[in-house]
Structure 1
Amino acid sequence: MRTSEIRSKFLNFFEKKSHAVLPSDSLVPQNDPTLLFTGAGMNQFKDMFLGKGNLNVKKAATCQKCLRTGDIDNVGKTASHHTFFEMLGNFSFGDYFKQKTIEWAWEFLVQELKISEERLSVSVYKDDHESYEIWEKHIHIPKSRIYRYDQKDNFWPANAPLLGPNGPCGPCSEIFFDQGEKIGCGRKECDPACECDRFVEIWNLVFTEYDRKEGGKLEPLPHQNVDTGMGLERMARVMQGVQTNFDIDIFRPIISSIEEIAQVKYNGRVENAILMRRIADHVKACVFCISDGVLPGNEGRGYVERRLLRRAIRDGTQLGVKDSFLYKLVPIVSNVMQDYYPDIKQRRENIARIIKNEEEKFHETLEQGTRILEELMETLHKSNQKTLSGKEAFKLYDTYGFPLDMTEAILNEKGFVVDRNGFEDELQKQRLQARTASQMTGQVFDTGPLSKIKDISKGSKFLGYNQNTCQGKIIAIIRNNELVDVAIVGSEVTVILDQTPFYGESGGQIGDTGILESDGTLIQVTDTRRNDDFTLHTGKVIKGELKTGIVVEAKVDVQRRNDIRKNHSATHILHYALRRVIGQHAEQAGSLVAPDRIRFDFHHFSALTKEEITRIEDLVNEKILENVPVSAKELTIQQAKNAGALALFGEKYGELVRMLSMGDYSKELCGGTHVDSSGEIGLFRIVSESSVAAGIRRIEAVTGMSTLKREREKEDIIQEICEILNTTEGKLVTKAQDILHELKNLQKELSRVKQKELSSKIHTLIENAKEVSGVKIITRKLEDATVDDLRKTADLLIKSAEDVAIILGAIQDGRVTIIAAMSPNLVKRGFHAGNISKEVAKLVGGGGGGRPDMSQAGGQWVEKLDDALHFATELLSKKILQTISS
């Protein structure tokens, strides 16, 4: 029975039992900050189990994509472990409980899949008498095939009563398929608890009925829930009668392709089989990760994916594969999975491109890192040491991108180890430095002034979300890197207030400008930045005398602030539109929000098409015109993530964060200033789209009045062109086409005239040629000739004489061009146009070369062309005489 058939049978079976068949959740949990990846079918139903969910169903069934890396070291070594797998599950949210769950499970296995009852055994939690009785008295399984185990084996989460965590939990009952006494350890007393491969766990029925409290107290939940999980690959292994999950129909084609690429047999050496299984597993995991928007990176999900890819690449090198190869497996994965996941096939070219790019980058890293590691091992060997320092291992990781697990693997092969504690210490140091590093440019605030200000103040209170002006007391004045009490007219200063409406540059939004004023004193603020909790107003004293302790009126340039607000809100809508149009992987990678423009960097692997740009632009403008409210809330980081807020890659957040919401489609953690409703943004236009780095694209755009200004500038250009071409805007394209057509006709006519002139010159050039031993030598400078003119002239001359050697020169755009041509007879006699042109070109400060019959050369000394042609005549004459004498 094919894997796809098992999947369909399961979902159809439970649909007939009144279950809502729901789609798989993404591998990237949408609203669950506790998970890096979706690892079980129940993940998307957590709120339903707690009685807080909004799904209008009591019973559900799914086939869930899952990714787990907890047992990554066992992948390929055992018959059943995977990183990526599919989990079939049926769920009850306060509807049916143990008896129906067990009855339906048995019905599906025995009646739908036709598995022999004698091959099935079950286990229950030792204190779950109810489940035991159901199996024995209702299903009529012999007691000899019902096993009681403790909370480690038959409770979810494992050991929850004793060790936690707090929250929903309950006993579970597992169903096992007996592969027979010939498989596994061979002991007669072997049971499902044995670690041999005889018993395959195929279905886990979890009865979530308790809420664990502190101290291990188990309180009954308001609703009894059911969460079951059947590993699809394991069930396929049983139904297809094979020994491992890697021998089923959705793995064999992948492994066969690996065999072909590596030229290694899967059923040969055990070590090679392990490598092939792991490659197949990891590439499949990465294909699905990328499809769900995760790109290889250095943090979080991206790092997990990169680690999987790099392990697979290293496994390939151990099989003898030197070049990139994983990308070639993407079509195979898409083909075997397309029945239930057609989107994989639709995106396979993009997925393959991403994987190939990562492979190519890692091959460079692998080569460089391996070389450095070999040098380190040689040093260790010479000094009779066995441990690589954590500092060196961290340098390989931090500077060269060499993963720690790979460093350890290579070292272990040679009998060395890594000081892991030392590595962790170095990693912690880096994290601490990143958290405390100043965002200010320059060193002034890293040493004296700011540290002194911190002694007298805890920071500047920001009031700019709701106010454009406020009164603020001057805490400090910095001039020439020093704290001062007074600053006079003309002084360049940095002013710190106890409270301010000025936004300090951060999160891509540039700082506000405006003025600080009090009686007789005026400071023009030209920039505002943040440093720790302080807002730093940089500017110049225009009038009066500035003193610490005085109260000033801080006034933001409102028009400029409004333009920035519009652009910042537009970036949020652009972010949403990008992820909607080109995929969830298009995550923000950086931005600049200025009053006159937007610069938005995002993760993507290829240039956007014209159609994609149009769709993105249209979607942004649609959302603007909806005029939805824009609101912000201050929440804990946990609350914001629970609400579905998007935290941007690379940003660091405190415990309290500001969540910005636009309608029901955009939620991001953002500390910037924004419009009150999307309609304030006005029109949005994309100005350009380009590449910034590998896998990073950049969009530049304008909004509001900047859009109008840009359109008017374009209109002015069009009007100017219309005036030059003496036409109207409506006829401009036609006029331009007519002019181009006329220009082409003139060029053709000019070419005909030139050809005629060249033909008339040919006779003269032949008549005036110098003849040496029957060979005509033509060396001539042609005035106002192009390279094409020189080539055509040489072609005509070759056809006009049997034995002829030609060197033609011309000056164009301040450079010399030389064409050399030899007739076929001369080429047979050893003359080489490329070598001769190279010699001649030396006299004009250049070089060149080419074929024996014709070549091109050039140089920059235009005044030397006549001398070069004279030299060419002498050179050819000598070569002709030498040929005759030999």
Structure 2
Amino acid sequence: METAEIRRRWLSFFEGSGHTVVPSAPLVYDDPNLLFVNAGMVPFKPYFLGQQTPPWTRATSVQKCVRTLDIEEVGKTTRHGTFFQMNGNFSFGDYFKEGAITNAWKLITGSQQEGGLGFDPDKIWVTVLGPGLLPHLPDGDEEAASLWREIAGLPDERIQRRGLEDNYWHMGVPGPGGPCSEIYVDRGAEFGPDGGPEVDEERFLEIWNLVFMQEVLSEVRSKVDFDVAGELPSKNIDTGMGLERVAYLLQGVDNLYEIDEVYPVIERAEEMSGLTYGNDERTDVQFRVVADHVRSGLMLMSDGVTPGNEGRGYVLRRLLRRAVRSMRLLGVQDPTLPALLPVSKDVMKASYPELEADFGRISQIAYAEEEAFRRTLASGTTILDQAVKRAKDNGESKLAGDQAFALHDTYGFPIDLTLEMAAEQGLEVDRDGFTRLMTEQRERAKADARAKKSGHASTEVWRELRDQGPTDFLAYETLSAEASVRGLVVDGATVPALSQGQRGMVVLDRTPFYAESGGQIADEGVIETASGAILRVRDVQRPVKGLIAHTVEVESGEFTVGTAVNAQVDPEWRVQACQAHSGTHVVHAALRQVLGPTALQSGSYNKPGYLRLDFAWNSALSPETRSEIEEVANLALRQDLPVAAAYMTLPEAREAGALALFGETYDEQVRVVEIGGPWSRELCGGTHVRHSSQIGALTLTGESSVGSGSRRIEALVGLDALQFLGRERALVSEISGLVGARPEHLTDRIGQLLARLKEAEKEITTMRQAAVMSDAASLVASAKDVNGVTWLGHDAGAGVSGDDLRRLVTDLRARLGDERATVVAAASAVKDRPVVVVATNQGARDRGVKAGQLVKVAAQTLGGGGGGKDDLAQGGGQDASKIGEALTQIEQALGSA
């Protein structure tokens, strides 16, 4: 049963039993504690925690998940996958244990002909919470055990009692919790000993966990150490079934890497490498890493993640680069993602059709990342070789940790690649030293991030300042104000004074500066004293509610607590910031006018001259739609619509139709900003122009995906928009001159030139291949006998790709015929890196001569590795100057065969 079909059956079953089907949330989710959604219940946390009222009593989903702690384990075991899908069904104060167990039993043991999953009831085992673990449940969860006997007819020997570690669930913080019941499938004696999951969880594989949220936890110290305050007033159900696990059980394969949504990538990697999956554990690990990381990277990019050096971007970069590196370890030197990523897309699009529509953007990102990594490998390998040589010359057996860290930090060279390549040259790496330096760097980064918001100060410092009274916020009324210095903070502590050259944070009793919030960045400007001392304001934040702190640099003079000052916002900065924020509202209204009311803003960012807006939408906008949105927005600017703000209660604002944006929290009293009356009416705390015409001009500059069902639109406003259009006009004029066509004819002219270029590239490829093959006839004549084997070795010269070498050796093998045992080898240097390909015929293989073994002989001489099948194999290395020696080594190996 295909994975997509299991997914469909899950949703159909629960929809048929009264559950609302909730689409998967994007992997990038609005939760400050998570890089990615890592469990099926994450989107439902606000309902379980009582923060929001669920809009349904029953729900079901198949949630996309990514877990990053397991990346190093991927490929080494058959269970660890980075991307996975979690089937879940949820009840919010509706059915409880009996309903959850009944649903589970019906689905897993129901016949496949009737829409079930068709598991053999006699192979099902379950676990429940055992006795003596919690004072309020002295007998454990005997209620669940009794229901399993009653509903499923399970004998007691297949209902095992286990501890809190396995059969109690909570979020790790005070809140809801409760016992759980896990469902296992017996895979058979060939997978391990009998005795249920208590004995062996390889043979008895968990597929589904039913969580019974029935208690309120007041204190949580660990997974097994917590205090129960009492019962939940409304009991809930949260379940999770691993879709990939069920898939490999129903598809009759041994692990998640061999299911229909993953294994095709391994098959393509086999074709590219000439190696076979399942023959060698070392290469099997690499195959599995490739398959997992290509799929995981695909899904992350689909949800808007792009490669970067920190956070989510770093995870994606690491996945893509590990996939590329693993293919290199399998002997593939050519670019690999262009061959592998489309395979993953084709098998995943049945469940996620948006992959097809967005693949152009995804593939562009992935292929550019691989090309950048290939350059990194080239430069990093040279530096590593030099470091290894120095270490050996000095008689050292270890590569220093700071050298490994420099390779990683400066050149992006992965530490695991450093470990492997150093080991190949007989050196260890000071891993402890590397880890220490990495930890120090992470701590510095965390400290810098904290400093951005709080200047290293603890919450207690800010609360003490807040206790003196809230900051009087004047940003809506004026750009300058007389104020008094209430507090000064440097490196987390209050200080009496700030002197010239120092950087710190200043709290005033009143301020005209806008503090960063609602997507609008903070104002810039100066704070001055009557004596001429000047503070330059670089950032403004709200470290605690009611208090505003200014990050400043002292340009001259000295500032002390109690000093009278004049705070002045940079007027040009504020004007452009107002243009950008009002422009965001205009674009949002234009989107909803063109696309409809479901195109609701889900996030924004604006700074002087620039804005971006994320909104709910499932597909890319066509050029025509973008033009229409831009036209509607600029029409609103030309109409000079009035901009007004008013305060009212939250219910009044909703009654008036004001939009409250997803992810924002609001007080009972809110500020409503409208442009043109009801045309744009939103809850907003930002600063704005007074009439829409003051935005000046607005031009859309980009539109992209930021996740499943979410798009991002970017625009420039005011002078920045006009300057952008001016640059565009100049660029069009320059291109027109270069290609000899008027601007209105550019599209046709460039299309013609690209077509000619493509045809020329085809001709070059054909000519290159013909050149490689042109000497085939004369090469055959140079074949000689070595120990009864016809041997032909050929140095093809520089620049011949691995694909062309494979064509050459297979052609030469065919020309030499099958009358005698034959071995053909050809080698080339591609970008100064040697590549060697070996082919054998059946006669040679009958004598025990295998291409995979011979290519390793050559690769060892070249300073690298390789492998493949018995009839065709490929390898590579680092020293192209030894190609002739490598071919000689193969000949000598034949002489002793």
TM class by smaller structure: 0.5 to 0.7
Equivalent residues in 2 for 1:400-419, closer than 5 Å: 400-408=411-419, 410=421, 414-419=427-432
Equivalent residues in 2 for 1:809-824, closer than 5 Å: none
Aligned mates of 1:432, 1:465 — CA distance in 2: 33
Q: Look up the match of 2:117.
A: 113
Identity, in percent, stands at: 34
Aligned mates of 1:107, 1:436 — CA distance in 2: 51
> In structure 1, what residue type is equivalent to 2:663?
G
Q: Does 1:170 align with 2:178?
A: yes
Among residues 437, 442, 445, which one is paired with 1:423 in the alignment? 437
- Alpha carbons 2:182, 2:208 under 8 Å: kept: yes
Task: Summarize the Cα distance change of 1:689–1:534 in structure 2 as closer, same or farther, 3 Å threshold.
Answer: closer
Give per-residue Cα distances to partners, 1:422-442, cap 9 Å, x unaligned. Answer: 214541574388469999xxx
Aligned mates of 1:528, 1:388 — CA distance in 2: 46
Displacement of 1:551 in angstroms is 6.3
Displacement of 1:554 in angstroms is 6.1
- Alpha carbons 2:19, 2:59 under 8 Å: kept: yes
Equivalent residues in 2 for 1:718-867, closer than 5 Å: none
Give per-residue Cα distances to partners, 1:64-122, cap 9 Å, x unaligned. Answer: 11111222233223233211111111111111111111111111111122222112111
Q: Look up the match of 2:159.
A: 146
Displacement of 1:701 in angstroms is 3.1
Q: Look up the match of 1:755.
A: none
Aligned mates of 1:586, 1:223 — CA distance in 2: 30
Q: Does 1:12 align with 2:12?
A: yes
Q: Does 1:217 align with 2:264?
A: no
Among residues 353, 363, 371, which one is paired with 1:342 in the alignment? 353
Task: Summarize the Cα distance change of 1:661–1:341 in structure 2 as closer, same or farther, 3 Å threshold.
Answer: farther
TM-score normalised by structure 1 residue count: 0.60
Aligned mates of 2:648, 2:312 — CA distance in 1: 28
**Contiguous gaps of at least 5 residues in structure 2:** 111-115, 131-139, 220-224, 454-470, 487-505, 541-548, 615-619, 650-660, 675-679, 705-711, 731-740, 746-897
Q: Does 1:205 align with 2:189?
A: no
- Alpha carbons 1:37, 1:67 under 8 Å: kept: yes
Q: Look up the match of 1:55.
A: 54
- Alpha carbons 1:29, 1:37 under 8 Å: kept: yes
Q: Look up the match of 1:370.
A: 381
**Contiguous gaps of at least 5 residues in structure 1:** 440-459, 476-495, 541-547, 634-641, 647-658, 692-696, 718-735, 741-886
Task: Summarize the Cα distance change of 1:194–1:560 in structure 2 as closer, same or farther, 3 Å threshold.
Answer: closer
> In structure 2, what residue type is equivalent to 1:184?
F
Q: Look up the match of 1:801.
A: none
Aligned mates of 1:683, 1:368 — CA distance in 2: 48
Task: Summarize the Cα distance change of 1:628–1:200 in structure 2 as closer, same or farther, 3 Å threshold.
Answer: farther
Q: Look up the match of 2:102.
A: 103
Task: Summarize the Cα distance change of 1:224–1:384 in structure 2 as closer, same or farther, 3 Å threshold.
Answer: farther
Task: Summarize the Cα distance change of 1:36–1:666 in structure 2 as closer, same or farther, 3 Å threshold.
Answer: farther
For the pair shown, the structure with the greater C-alpha radius of gyration is: 1
Q: Secondary structure at the match of 1:115?
A: coil
Task: Summarize the Cα distance change of 1:384–1:347 in structure 2 as closer, same or farther, 3 Å threshold.
Answer: same
Displacement of 1:372 in angstroms is 2.3
Aligned mates of 2:417, 2:577 — CA distance in 1: 46
Give per-residue Cα distances to partners, 1:693-741, cap 9 Å, x unaligned. Answer: xxxx9977333x9989999x99xx9xxxxxxxxxxxxxxxxxx99x99x
> In structure 2, what residue type is equivalent to 1:337?
M
Equivalent residues in 2 for 1:573-652, closer than 5 Å: 593=608, 597-598=609-610, 611=624, 614=627, 617-618=630-631, 644=663
Q: Look up the match of 1:193.
A: 198
Q: Secondary structure at the match of 1:170?
A: strand
Displacement of 1:292 in angstroms is 0.8
Q: Secondary structure at the match of 1:76?
A: coil
Give per-residue Cα distances to partners, 1:394-436, cap 9 Å, x unaligned. Answer: 3223321234454455556654341245214541574388469
- Highest RCO, 1 vs 2 (Cα 8 Å, sep ≥ 6): 2
Number of equivalenced pairs = 636
Q: Look up the match of 2:717.
A: 702
Aligned mates of 1:24, 1:96 — CA distance in 2: 23
Q: Look up the match of 1:270.
A: 281
Displacement of 1:464 in angstroms is 4.0
Task: Summarize the Cα distance change of 1:292–1:662 in structure 2 as closer, same or farther, 3 Å threshold.
Answer: farther
Among residues 240, 250, 256, which one is paired with 1:239 in the alignment? 250
Aligned mates of 1:504, 1:60 — CA distance in 2: 42
- Alpha carbons 1:291, 1:351 under 8 Å: kept: yes
- Alpha carbons 1:630, 1:661 under 8 Å: kept: yes
Aligned mates of 1:369, 1:585 — CA distance in 2: 44
Displacement of 1:631 in angstroms is 9.4
> In structure 1, what residue type is equivalent to 2:405?
F
- Alpha carbons 2:84, 2:243 under 8 Å: kept: yes
TM-score normalised by structure 2 residue count: 0.59
Aligned mates of 1:370, 1:630 — CA distance in 2: 63
- Alpha carbons 2:212, 2:235 under 8 Å: kept: yes
- Alpha carbons 2:64, 2:85 under 8 Å: kept: yes
Aligned mates of 1:194, 1:377 — CA distance in 2: 48
Aligned mates of 2:252, 2:25 — CA distance in 1: 30
Q: Look up the match of 1:184.
A: 191
Aligned mates of 1:270, 1:468 — CA distance in 2: 68
After the TM superposition, which of the residue ranges 68-77 and 231-240 deviates more from structure 2?
68-77
Give per-residue Cα distances to partners, 1:146-193, cap 9 Å, x unaligned. Answer: 211111222224xx8xxx543322221111111211x223x3x44323
Q: Does 1:124 align with 2:124?
A: no
Q: Secondary structure at the match of 1:148?
A: strand
Task: Summarize the Cα distance change of 1:144–1:296 in structure 2 as closer, same or farther, 3 Å threshold.
Answer: same
- Alpha carbons 1:41, 1:229 under 8 Å: kept: yes
Aligned mates of 1:682, 1:424 — CA distance in 2: 46
Q: Look up the match of 1:833.
A: none
Q: Look up the match of 2:169.
A: 156
Displacement of 1:17 in angstroms is 0.9
> In structure 1, what residue type is equivalent to 2:387?
L
After the TM superposition, which of the residue ranges 525-534 and 387-396 deviates more from structure 2?
525-534
